[in-house]
Structure 1
Amino acid sequence: MRPSDRAARFFATSALAARVYLGYKAITLAEKRLGLKDPDQRRSRHHTDSARRLYGLAIRRQGLLIKFGQIVGSRPDLIPDEYIAVLSRLQDRVPPRPFGVIKRRIERQPFMEGRPLAEVFAEFDEQPIAAASLAQVHRARLHDGREVAVKVQYPGIESIVENDLRNIRFLLRILAKFERNLDFSPLIEEISLNVPLELDFINEGHNAEIIARNFEARARTRPAQLGEDGGGRGWAPVERGDVIVPRIVWEYSTRRVLVMEYLEGVKITDLEGLRGQGTDPQAVAQLVIDAYCEQLYLHGMFHADPHPGNLFVQPGPKLIMLDFGLCRQLDDKFRLGYARLVNAMLTWNIPNMIQGFLELGVKVRKPQDTAVYLELGRSFTEYGKEGRAYADPDIVAEANQRMSKAIRSNPITDIPREFLLIGRVVGLLSGLGAHLDSRVDMVRTIVPYTQAALEGAK
């Protein structure tokens, strides 16, 4: 990337970040000190303008700006509707690169051995079926008849991502000077570690195979939901194959091109499409939570990017998971410690909850003040209160208020990276729940998994 391009990218990103932040702060300040009469209308106009500007910047500059927009556009539980309406288009409707650029990228891969595209692929659709921040995907057919999806990384994207990471680090450090109760260093570290892994498609292919094996190897039973009496540690029969991962075609895959089995499905947030195939969105919401509980508490290896562009549904319902660039393997110590902590929070076992935070390495500025752990636990308990849906905006608002109060009173100084990635997953799942109007009962769903994990360790 040329120095002039780096500078232009930095100034464009910084200017928009300042405009969004300062504009919002100005409205809030005017409301408090000047008694502004129409703050909600002003905020709505500001959000709409900011969303359009962010979308335009992401489309022009691409790279991590698209990924950021995807995350924001996937959180209707947390982000204002004005942003969702605009930025949700970034999930799978990013303007693609010209086919000529993609064709040359493929033909330069070692497996091509100097051959033209037609000698390896009997058919290759020039129009991508999806385009995202780092790559785009084309449908194709091999000469042996297999239908495949071909994921091709954009040329030059590595230098763009490296530059964007520097900009993100800088902007978060500046923001931290104004929002002193927020420590962005763990987030900066997590982004810096994760993004390079997403650029390695060999790593993604191996992740996909591990996730697939974990689901295929599971027993024909899984934890039953809690009964009306609070029991339910038993196990209930479940049909296998309700989570589907595409098979990798290794002979045509490299760090920059990934060829995999092509799978048909309806996008998870397409409610009309789900109903059209006879699928109840509530059953989909339950399946998604079950799939992620199984990964987090039983497998230890989990898919960490469940935004709507990566999850599709077949009748049954069956969940198709795509894009395994961002996954994390939890060691047994953390997996079981996290299961104990969540189990303690959902059953409101205060001593075990405080001990759980300490054992997992969550540190605060005033270690002698354990009240902050209590507030953190309470925020999760409100979020998962029995009989309430995890996508309920009131629950999210309560959880955020609890969290903010806890952090203000005793800021967190250290938190394991695993918590950040799990937090990302929980946030994206909450966004999905809002799209699906989910009524999944989180206590009855999660507790059997945490108990199964702990019983399995005995």
Structure 2
Amino acid sequence: MRFATWNLVVTWWYEILLTRIGLSRVAERTRAARMQRVAQRFHGLAVDLGGLMIKVGQYMSSRLDVLPPQITEELAGLQDEVPPVPFEYIRELAEAELGVSLDRAFAHVEETPVAAASLGQAHRARLGSMDASDTGLSNVIIKVQRPGIDAIVDVDLAALRKVGGWLSRLRAVNRRVDLPALIEEFARTSREEINYLHEAANAERFAEEFEGDDRVSVPAIAWERTSRRVLTLEDVTAIKISDLPGLRAAGIDPADVAHDFAEVMYDQLFGNGFFHADPHPGNVFVTPTPDAPGERSWKLTFIDFGMMGELPNSTRGGLRQLLIAAATRDGKGLVQAGRDLGVLLPSADTVELERVLKELFARFGGMGFAELRDVDPNDFREFAVQFNDVVRTLPIQLPGHFLLVGRAMSLTSGVCSTLNPAYNLWDSVEPYAARLLREEGSNVVKDLGKEALDVAAVTWGLPKKIDGLVTKIDEGRLAITMPQLERRMERLENSARQVMSGLLFAALLFTGATLRHDDPFLGNLLMIVSVLPLMHALFSGRRRR
């Protein structure tokens, strides 16, 4: 709370006060460095506090639609690694949850954790002979929540809601993002992540989605030793997907792994819509299977199913519209798809947005997905900069599940680039995009028929509307108003008056400070009088609004 209060005050000073008194150049000149310092301080704060703050930093690093790049880039490397909890506390919580001592529940438990994160930590263990025969498992991993994490999450969420309430009162924030809704989305996913029963159910559903697929394996769950705060699952530790020397030593080509990993991730995103939203290198193993029939001698093994995403049918339909509109360079179609997906806020100026989107996509017009691989990288870079500017200046907000899609795709790209620096994700994107277009093609006749009916309805009523319009013109009752232009002119005039007041304030203040040494009375008088134009500069705009 202290961190948020101080940085809000500093931001108010630079972005509001200095701007209103005509010193906006000072704010603009220092903005990038200030944003970077804020992100660096929050990085340290998150590591010190643990709890949900690390998750908050990771979440903010994906908010490219809201936050400046100085913040998202600094927080992108925030890792969920914290000092481990002493084993005696882990033992106490696990025994209370399972209702039996660890010595009876397991044949052996390693006290040194395999991994320690902000919400829980994992230990290797071995099931007893009876449990092993019942479950078919022997070596397992026990994930145990950090003691008191429920209370910590409650406190962290309360603090986030309070700070979010402050920020949502700022016009510059609430016109760009529904902050309370985002915090509630974050709260929901966080509470799901600390419910290990939910994670276990996700793991089994993920396994069902890839049943019979020799590319993917999923650890089995030992339900007899699982509860809301303790998760026992098969130990599937193998070669870390980013361990290039380990892959080569096992005779596995990293380039083949990159290709299959990208395909599996796109199968999730464009296939059933249920996808792993946190596929970083620590959550994916490459498991050698030398005895497996066929040419394939390894599998991709996914773990940690606490953060999963699911795309509803309506979203998948919107994505199809978005893809087809982009392929046909239909700016209006892109805008409509954005509205259907909930990406565009109600305040969006769609005319300007259509124009900008057409300009952005026009340079790649007529190119197939495969042809994009041959485009000059500088063109891609320029396109990315322009598109980034659009996202940051227009009222665009990505829905919560879109953030998970973006995170999954970003991590997929990073892993594939690590495995094979020459790998091009278009090789995997192309077949899925082509398939979506083929599927959409089956609805073309239906869409054309509906369009024809709409045109016929408009044509039927057109003569009556024209007749009514001509009557209004003859009677002098036709009024044309442009409220948006009038509001902009009013704001422009008000801003000009504020700038003049700010300049007058600065002139009186500096003149008074200069004369004060030679004529204290006149100098002090000018400095006191300078308060009047300052008050006008600060509050005249607010009163008019």
Shorter-chain-normalised TM-score: which range?
0.7 to 0.9
**Which amino acid letter does the alignment assign opposite residue 147 of structure 1?**
N
1:361-440 aligned within 5 A: 361-366=342-347, 369-372=350-353, 375=356, 386-388=371-373, 398-399=383-384, 401-408=386-393, 410-412=394-396, 416-433=399-416, 435-436=418-419, 438-440=421-423
For the pair 1:257 / 2:251, whether they are aligned, the reply is: no
Identity %: 34
- How far apart are 1:131 and its partner, in Å? 1.2
- How far apart are 1:375 and its partner, in Å? 4.9
For the pair 1:155 / 2:154, whether they are aligned, the reply is: no
Given that 1:306 and 1:428 are in contact with CA atoms closer than 8 Å, whether structure 2 keeps it comes out as yes
Larger radius of gyration: 2
For the pair 1:108 / 2:96, whether they are aligned, the reply is: yes
CA distance 1:357–1:128, change in 2 (3 Å): same
Tell me which residue corresponds to 1:288.
261
Tell me which residue corresponds to 2:460.
none
Given that 1:340 and 1:454 are in contact with CA atoms closer than 8 Å, whether structure 2 keeps it comes out as no
CA distance 1:405–1:353, change in 2 (3 Å): closer
Tell me which residue corresponds to 2:338.
357
Structure 2 distance, partners of 1:150, 1:381, is 53
For the pair 1:125 / 2:110, whether they are aligned, the reply is: yes
SS of the counterpart of 1:96?
Answer: coil
Structure 2 distance, partners of 1:293, 1:351, is 27
Q: Deviations over 1:168-213 (max 9, x none)?
A: 3444555563854631524323212211111211111111111111
SS of the counterpart of 1:251?
Answer: helix
Structure 2 distance, partners of 1:380, 1:268, is 35
SS of the counterpart of 1:108?
Answer: helix
Q: Deviations over 1:359-411 (max 9, x none)?
A: 3344334567255267569879999885459xx89957843641432452x41
For the pair 1:194 / 2:189, whether they are aligned, the reply is: yes
SS of the counterpart of 2:211?
Answer: helix
CA distance 1:361–1:52, change in 2 (3 Å): closer
**Aligned with 1:247 (options 201, 214, 220):** 220
Structure 2 distance, partners of 1:81, 1:350, is 28
SS of the counterpart of 1:364?
Answer: coil
Structure 2 distance, partners of 1:142, 1:259, is 10
For the pair 1:11 / 2:11, whether they are aligned, the reply is: no
Structure 2 distance, partners of 1:283, 1:23, is 51
CA distance 1:265–1:166, change in 2 (3 Å): same
Tell me which residue corresponds to 1:67.
55
Structure 1 distance, partners of 2:437, 2:144, is 41
- Which protein, 1 or 2, shows the higher relative CO under an 8 Å CA cutoff with sep ≥ 6? 1
Tell me which residue corresponds to 1:338.
319
Given that 2:324 and 2:437 are in contact with CA atoms closer than 8 Å, whether structure 1 keeps it comes out as no
SS of the counterpart of 2:350?
Answer: coil
SS of the counterpart of 1:123?
Answer: strand
**Aligned with 1:306 (options 271, 274, 279):** 279
Tell me which residue corresponds to 2:446.
none
CA distance 1:284–1:50, change in 2 (3 Å): farther
Given that 1:344 and 1:352 are in contact with CA atoms closer than 8 Å, whether structure 2 keeps it comes out as yes
Tell me which residue corresponds to 2:303.
322
For the pair 1:166 / 2:158, whether they are aligned, the reply is: yes
Structure 1 distance, partners of 2:417, 2:11, is 25
Tell me which residue corresponds to 2:465.
none
Structure 2 runs not aligned, ≥5 long: 17-22, 64-68, 289-296, 443-545
CA distance 1:195–1:84, change in 2 (3 Å): closer
CA distance 1:395–1:317, change in 2 (3 Å): farther
Q: Deviations over 1:112-162 (max 9, x none)?
A: 44x321112111111111111211111111013611111111121112112
Given that 1:372 and 1:406 are in contact with CA atoms closer than 8 Å, whether structure 2 keeps it comes out as no
**Aligned with 2:205 (options 195, 206, 210):** 210
SS of the counterpart of 1:423?
Answer: helix
Which region of structure 1 is more displaced relative to structure 2, 397-406 or 250-259? 397-406
CA distance 1:420–1:270, change in 2 (3 Å): same
Tell me which residue corresponds to 1:146.
138
Compare the two structures and name the one with the higher helix fraction.
Answer: 2
**Aligned with 1:94 (options 57, 82, 95):** 82
Tell me which residue corresponds to 2:504.
none
Structure 2 distance, partners of 1:12, 1:361, is 32
CA distance 1:369–1:24, change in 2 (3 Å): closer
Given that 1:345 and 1:378 are in contact with CA atoms closer than 8 Å, whether structure 2 keeps it comes out as no
Q: Deviations over 1:216-238 (max 9, x none)?
A: 15xxxxxxxxxxxxxxxxxxxxx
Structure 1 distance, partners of 2:323, 2:50, is 37
Given that 1:379 and 1:403 are in contact with CA atoms closer than 8 Å, whether structure 2 keeps it comes out as no
Structure 1 distance, partners of 2:145, 2:401, is 27
Structure 2 distance, partners of 1:243, 1:203, is 21
Structure 2 distance, partners of 1:158, 1:381, is 51
Given that 2:39 and 2:70 are in contact with CA atoms closer than 8 Å, whether structure 1 keeps it comes out as no
Structure 1 distance, partners of 2:351, 2:74, is 37
State the TM-score, normalizing by the size of structure 1. Answer: 0.72
Structure 2 distance, partners of 1:19, 1:329, is 39
**Which amino acid letter does the alignment assign opposite residue 403 of structure 2?**
L
The alignment of Structure 1 onto Structure 2 pairs a total of residues equal to: 410
CA distance 1:35–1:146, change in 2 (3 Å): closer
Given that 1:345 and 1:377 are in contact with CA atoms closer than 8 Å, whether structure 2 keeps it comes out as no
Given that 2:203 and 2:305 are in contact with CA atoms closer than 8 Å, whether structure 1 keeps it comes out as yes
SS of the counterpart of 1:160?
Answer: helix
CA distance 1:376–1:52, change in 2 (3 Å): same
CA distance 1:161–1:84, change in 2 (3 Å): closer
Given that 2:61 and 2:71 are in contact with CA atoms closer than 8 Å, whether structure 1 keeps it comes out as no
- How far apart are 1:277 and its partner, in Å? 3.9
Structure 2 distance, partners of 1:347, 1:373, is 13
Given that 2:112 and 2:123 are in contact with CA atoms closer than 8 Å, whether structure 1 keeps it comes out as yes
**RMSD of aligned Cα (Å):** 4.5
Given that 1:107 and 1:116 are in contact with CA atoms closer than 8 Å, whether structure 2 keeps it comes out as yes
**Which amino acid letter does the alignment assign opposite residue 176 of structure 2?**
L
Tell me which residue corresponds to 1:234.
none
CA distance 1:336–1:95, change in 2 (3 Å): same
CA distance 1:178–1:128, change in 2 (3 Å): farther
Given that 2:287 and 2:300 are in contact with CA atoms closer than 8 Å, whether structure 1 keeps it comes out as yes
Structure 2 distance, partners of 1:314, 1:373, is 48
- How far apart are 1:84 and its partner, in Å? 7.3
**Which amino acid letter does the alignment assign opposite residue 2 of structure 2?**
F
Given that 1:361 and 1:415 are in contact with CA atoms closer than 8 Å, whether structure 2 keeps it comes out as yes
Given that 1:285 and 1:433 are in contact with CA atoms closer than 8 Å, whether structure 2 keeps it comes out as yes
